[in-house]
Every structure is written in C-alpha cells, then in structure tokens.
C-alpha cells in the first residue's frame, strides 16, 4: 500500500489527541501530522508514547494563519485532512465569542482553501450535534442529518458556520468532504473544564461540583474511542459530500451523570451544588446514528463501561490533570463560577 499523509488539526486536544494516537498505532503505513497551536486546551505531554514513532510528526501553527497554512500544504501535499482544531467550550464562547469566530470559521476557511489548492483526497470536518440546536424532553425525538441547523450558542453558531463553508466548498469547487456531527464525548485526556472530567477531578479532591440550573438537561454521551472509530470509517468509506451523525443512544441528565461518578468514587451527594444556569442552556441533545450504522459503525462502550474506564484513567493519570488545574485554570474557574 502507498504511504498516505494525514493532516490532523487540533491533535494536541482531547478528541484530536485520542485520534492521533489511534491513527499512529492503527496505520503504520500512514504519516500522521498533528497540527496544533497549543492553546490552553492543547498539550503534547499526552503524546510521550508516540512522539518518537517514525509515522508521527508535529507542526505548531495557527489554522487561521493563511501565510503558514498554504505553504505547508504546498510542501507536504497531504492526502487526507481531519479537522478537529477549534475553540470547543460553550461557557467560554458566552464570555468571549470573538476567538470562536476567528478559529472555528476563519480557520476552517483557510484550511479549505489550502485543501482545494493541493487537491486532497478527503477533508473530514469534525462538527457537533450542537449545530442542530436543542430538542425538548420527548424521548422519541432525535437529531437526524436532515434536522435544520439552529445553533443557540456562539460556539455552536461558529461550528454551524464552518459546516456551511465546508458544504459550500463541496458544492462550488467539488472538494471531497464529509461532515461528522457527534454528541458529547468523554474519556481519557478530556480537559477538566467540561462536566465529566470537572466532576471526577473535584470529587476526588472533595470539592463541590457545580451543576447548572436544576440538573435536568440531557446530553447523549459517547466514549471518545468510539468517536475516533467513526471518523476513521468516514475518512475511508464516507460518500463525498455527506453528513454523518455520531452517537450511541446514551442519554443521561446532568444530575444522573454527576451522581453516577460520585457513587463509583464512594463519595457523598452533598458535594453537589446547584448554581446559576448557563445562558441559553440547550435542554436536550440526542442523536439518531442510523446512517453511520449503515456504513458499518457500532459503538463498543456503553455509558456504564465507558464511565468506569474513564474514572479508572483519571485515577491512574492524576499527574496530567493536576498539572492543568493548578495553573491558569484556577483563574478561569474563579471567574466562571463567581458569576
């Protein structure tokens, strides 16, 4: 088989980082290029086990920097692009939307231009179910690929805008693209500003866990490795121009998630603290993954097996998350939760 060059943007972050490790191990015949700006959400310590492998490469760059991205594509002539790099936290988008537009919208357009210029084989744009807006609590309703885009937060609006640009490059220039829209991920290397790792790290430190509003909002959780396998499948088998939803039917209220973690760790529910609700807080997300299942995907984790594995990982890798929460993160936490 001929060697392929795969550019993974955002490969120092949570999902991109798991995907880089998955690809480096699974495809020794591919060269995996991890391109990342190393913002607060990116770190390379997670790649210590693969950094000396011959098929792993790292490039520090800003996806919105046209002057850096175009020459890189001209030099390397990537075959595949898998685009994760983004500002990803909804709460941060509510306090500072500007950087979300720059990275998520402009950054995607710069990558699309570069991909068009060198004639790549496939561009997979990793998007989110949040572009569909919210569902009500009727458990028979789901997001399908036909659900209209109705993003409610600056984060999801920026992701929906990038989805539309990706679609437009396919329609206008025939760029071979796919868009994936996944539900909430969890698993190793999840940054502790998000609900699950925030809860695990705070419960382990006997600190209060902030639950927004009444805790009844619902998210549909998927283990990050099942997401990686879905993207791998779409990269190789996805029909050009198509959108694929990714989700494993694991709906839980936020309160159920927090109580499950507290119970596995053998701590008291007195640690739960109800705090002011998130502005524009989406009620419920739930994915219909039928189209992706027809392509051959099926998740390997249930929520129960996945959350147990994830808690184990956080217990075994305290060094990784303790180093994060002891730094600049503390200022973020004070500011975010004093509002």
Q: Which residues lie near ligand NAD (CB under 6 A)?
A: 9-10, 12-16, 36-39, 41-42, 62-64, 84-88, 103, 107, 126, 128, 159, 182, 184-185, 191
Residue 283, number of CB atoms within 10 A of its CB: 13
> Using CB atoms, what's the residue nearest to ligand NAD?
13
Residue 289 binds which entry of ligand DAU, ligand NAD, none, CB below 5-8 Å type-dependent: none
With contact defined as beta carbons under 8 Å apart, do 50 and 56 qualify?
A: yes
130 is catalytic: yes
H-only helix segments in the chain: 14-26, 66-76, 90-95, 98-100, 107-118, 154-173, 195-204, 224-237, 254-264, 290-295, 303-316, 318-325, 329-337
The structure tokens 């600056």 sit at: 154
Burial of 226 (0-12, 13-18, 19+ CB in 10 A): buried
Out of 79, 130, 220, 251, the active site residue is 130
Active-site residue, 251 included? no
User: Does 260 help bind ligand DAU (rule: CB under 6 A)?
Assistant: no
Strand partners for 287: 143
Question: Interface mask (CB under 6 A) for ligand DAU, residues 69-88, using x and -?
Answer: -------------------x
With CB under 5 to 8 Å by kind, the binding choice for 15 among ligand DAU, ligand NAD, none is: ligand NAD
210 lines the binding site for ligand DAU (CB under 6 A): yes
- Which of 19, 78, 221, 285 lies at the binding interface for ligand DAU (CB under 6 A)? 285
Residues 165, 108 contacting (CB under 8 angstroms): yes
Does residue 104 bind ligand DAU (CB under 6 A)? no
Position closest to ligand DAU via CB = 128
Min dist. Cβ of residue 277 to ligand DAU (A): 8
Helical H runs in 78-153? 90-95, 98-100, 107-118
Show contacts with ligand DAU in window 212-231 (CB under 6 A).
Answer: 212, 217, 219
CB under 5 to 8 A by kind: which of ligand DAU, ligand NAD, none does 147 bind? none
Query: Which one of the listed residues 62, 79, 87, 129 is annotated catalytic?
Result: 129
Q: With CA atoms as reference, report the closest residue to 248 among 187, 290, 311, 283.
A: 290
**Contact between 128 and ligand DAU per CB under 6 A:** yes
The total number of residues written for the chain in this structure: 339
Cβ proximity of 11 and 36 under 8 Å: yes
Say whether 132 sits in a helix, a strand or coil: helix
Contact flags string 188-207 toward ligand DAU, x per CB under 6 A: ------xx--x---------
State the binding partner of 160 from ligand DAU, ligand NAD, none, CB within 5 to 8 A by kind. none
**Beta strand pairing status for 177-182 and 122-128?**
parallel
Q: Which residues bind ligand DAU (CB under 6 A)?
A: 88-90, 128-130, 183-184, 194-195, 198, 210-212, 217, 219, 254, 278, 285
Active site residues: 129-130, 155
């Amino acid at each position: 088989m001929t060697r392929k060059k795969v550019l993974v943007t955002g490969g120092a972050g949570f999902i991109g980082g798991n995907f880089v490790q998955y690809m480096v191990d699974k495809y020794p015949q591919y060269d995996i290029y991890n391109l990342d700006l190393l913002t607060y959400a990116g770190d390379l310590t997670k790649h210590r086990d693969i950094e000396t492998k011959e098929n792993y490469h790292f490039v520090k760059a800003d996806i919105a920097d046209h002057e850096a991205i175009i020459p890189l594509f001209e030099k390397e002539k990537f075959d595949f692009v898998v685009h994760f790099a983004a500002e990803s936290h909804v709460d941060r988008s509510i306090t500072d939307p500007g950087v979300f537009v720059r990275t998520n919208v402009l950054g995607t357009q710069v990558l699309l231009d570069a991909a068009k210029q060198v004639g790549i084989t496939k561009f997979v744009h990793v998007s989110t179910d949040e572009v569909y807006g919210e569902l009500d609590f009727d458990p028979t309703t789901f997001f399908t690929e036909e659900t209209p885009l109705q993003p409610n937060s600056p984060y999801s609006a920026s992701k929906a805008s990038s989805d539309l640009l990706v679609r437009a490059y396919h329609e206008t220039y025939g760029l071979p693209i796919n868009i994936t829209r996944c539900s909430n991920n969890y698993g190793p290397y999840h940054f502790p500003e998000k609900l699950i790792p925030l809860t695990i790290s705070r419960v382990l430190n006997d600190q209060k866990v902030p639950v927004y509003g009444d805790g009844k909002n619902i998210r549909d959780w998927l283990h990050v490795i099942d997401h990686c396998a879905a993207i791998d499948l779409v990269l190789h088998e996805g029909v050009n121009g198509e959108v694929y939803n990714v989700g494993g039917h694991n709906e839980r209220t936020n309160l159920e998630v927090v109580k499950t973690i507290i119970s596995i760790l053998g701590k008291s529910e007195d640690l739960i603290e109800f705090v002011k609700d998130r502005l524009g807080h989406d009620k419920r997300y739930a994915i219909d993954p039928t189209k992706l299942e027809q392509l051959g995907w099926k998740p390997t984790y249930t929520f129960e097996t996945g959350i147990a594995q994830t808690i184990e990982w956080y217990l075994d890798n305290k060094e990784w998350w303790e180093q994060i929460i002891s730094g600049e993160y503390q200022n973020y936490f004070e500011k975010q939760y004093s509002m």
